[in-house]
Structure formats: C-alpha cells, structure tokens
C-alpha cells in the first residue's frame, strides 16, 4: 500500500518502530544515544522509562546531579514517592513512631532532589533553578512549568 500514511518499503522504519530510529530495535535494548538518528535513549540522556525503571534508576543515581531525566522518569518517581509517604504516614499514626518515616522521607527527598536537577537539565536549565523552591507559590508554579516542559531534542549542554 502506498500513500502518505503507509509504512516505508520493507515493513518498518530502520532501527525500530518509529521514524528517526525509535525506541526499539538493534542497539537500543538498554538505551543509549544514537548520534546518527539524533535520538536520546538512555536514562541519563533523557530517554523515556517505565514505572519500575524510574524508581530503580532514581535510587541508583541518588547522588548524581549530572545528566538528564525524562518527564516519565520524574513523574513516575514522584508518584511512587507520594504513595510511599502516604503509606508511611498511615503506619506512623498506627504505630506512634516517626523514626522510620523520617529516614525514608529523607532518602526519597534526596533522590527526588537529584532527579529534579536532572529534569531541569533535560530542558537545558541549570539545577540552580531548584532554589525557586524557597519562593512560596510563585517559585513552585515556575518549577512545575519547567518540570512539564518537554526536553530539548538531541544533546544539550547537560548531556
């Protein structure tokens, strides 16, 4: 079938299922940057990740403030942190002890801080923009907008 919406001859796009190389196919099982196609693929290059990978990679890179993080990596981790903190609050109220909750919350906050810096890097902004947290309401809204912005295509000064 030929036409503007048909697949190229051979049944698919080279290197994967999407134009420009895609996110699957040879050479992309765990990610990586393909300079010929201009695609970001790896976790620290701003490539998309699933729920489990977002959590695992965030904790593996807990002290890494360089590189990039995709919107999916940021928001999946944020959702997981929210759920964990909610469950911990319920357990804390039932048990009456806050020590475990405090330790876990601090670990999640440190991982979230490094992830937020990498999320800003994905849209080519410095991690120092995180200081906007100290400006109530307006700073938080600005950061929320930054977190929602798509990442810059291809490499930028942060990776």
pLDDT in tens, 120-159: 999 989 999 999 999 999 999 999 999 999 988 878 887 7
Name every residue whose Cβ is closer than 8 Å to that of residue 138 and which is 6 or more positions away in sequence.
Answer: none
- The pLDDT value recorded for residue 16 is 39
The angle that helices 71-95 and 51-60 make with each other, rounded to 10 degrees, is: 80
pLDDT digits (tens, 9 = 90+) for 5-21: 444 444 443 443 333 33
- The pLDDT value recorded for residue 41 is 64
pLDDT digits (tens, 9 = 90+) for 95-126: 887 888 889 999 999 999 999 999 999 998 99
- The pLDDT value recorded for residue 109 is 94
- The pLDDT value recorded for residue 24 is 37
Q: Binning pLDDT at 50, 70 and 90, where does residue 86 land?
A: very high
- The pLDDT value recorded for residue 128 is 94
Give how far Cα 20 sits from Cα of 39, 40, 64, 86, 142, Å.
7, 11, 29, 41, 32
Q: What DSSP letter does each residue of 24-39 carry, written as one string?
A: -STT-SS---BTTTTB
How does the average pLDDT of the chain come out, rounded? 78
Q: What DSSP letter does each residue of the chain carry, written as one string?
A: --STTSPPTTSSBTTBSSGGG-S-STT-SS---BTTTTB--STTBT----HHHHHHHHHHTTT--SSB--HHHHHHHHHHHHHHHHHHHHHHHHH---HHHHHHHHHHHHHHHHHHHHHHHHTT--GGGGGGGGSTTHHHHHHHHHHHSPPPSS--TT-
- The pLDDT value recorded for residue 39 is 54
Mean pLDDT, residues 50-76: 92
- The pLDDT value recorded for residue 11 is 44
- 109: which 2 tokens? 């906050």
Task: Judge whether residue 38 has pLDDT over 50.
Answer: yes
Residue from 33, 37, 7, 44 nearest 20 by CA: 37
Domain definitions of the chain by residue range: 13-42, 49-148
Residue from 77, 17, 82, 89 nearest 50 by CA: 77
């Amino acid at each position: 079938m030929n036409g503007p919406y048909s697949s190229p001859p051979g049944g698919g796009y080279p290197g994967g299922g999407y134009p420009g190389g895609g996110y699957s196919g040879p050479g992309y099982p765990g990610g990586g940057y393909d300079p010929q196609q201009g695609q970001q693929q790896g976790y620290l290059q701003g490539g998309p990740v699933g729920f489990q990978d977002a959590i695992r990679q965030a904790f593996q890179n807990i002290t890494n403030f360089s590189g990039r993080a995709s919107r999916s990596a940021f928001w999946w981790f944020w959702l997981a942190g929210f759920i964990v903190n909610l469950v911990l609050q319920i357990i804390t109220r039932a048990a009456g002890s806050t020590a475990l909750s405090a330790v876990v919350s601090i670990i999640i906050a440190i991982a979230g801080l490094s992830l937020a810096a990498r999320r800003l890097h994905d849209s080519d902004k410095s991690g120092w923009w995180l200081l906007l947290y100290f400006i109530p309401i307006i700073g938080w809204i600005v950061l929320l907008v930054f977190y929602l912005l798509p990442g810059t295509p291809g490499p930028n000064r942060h990776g």
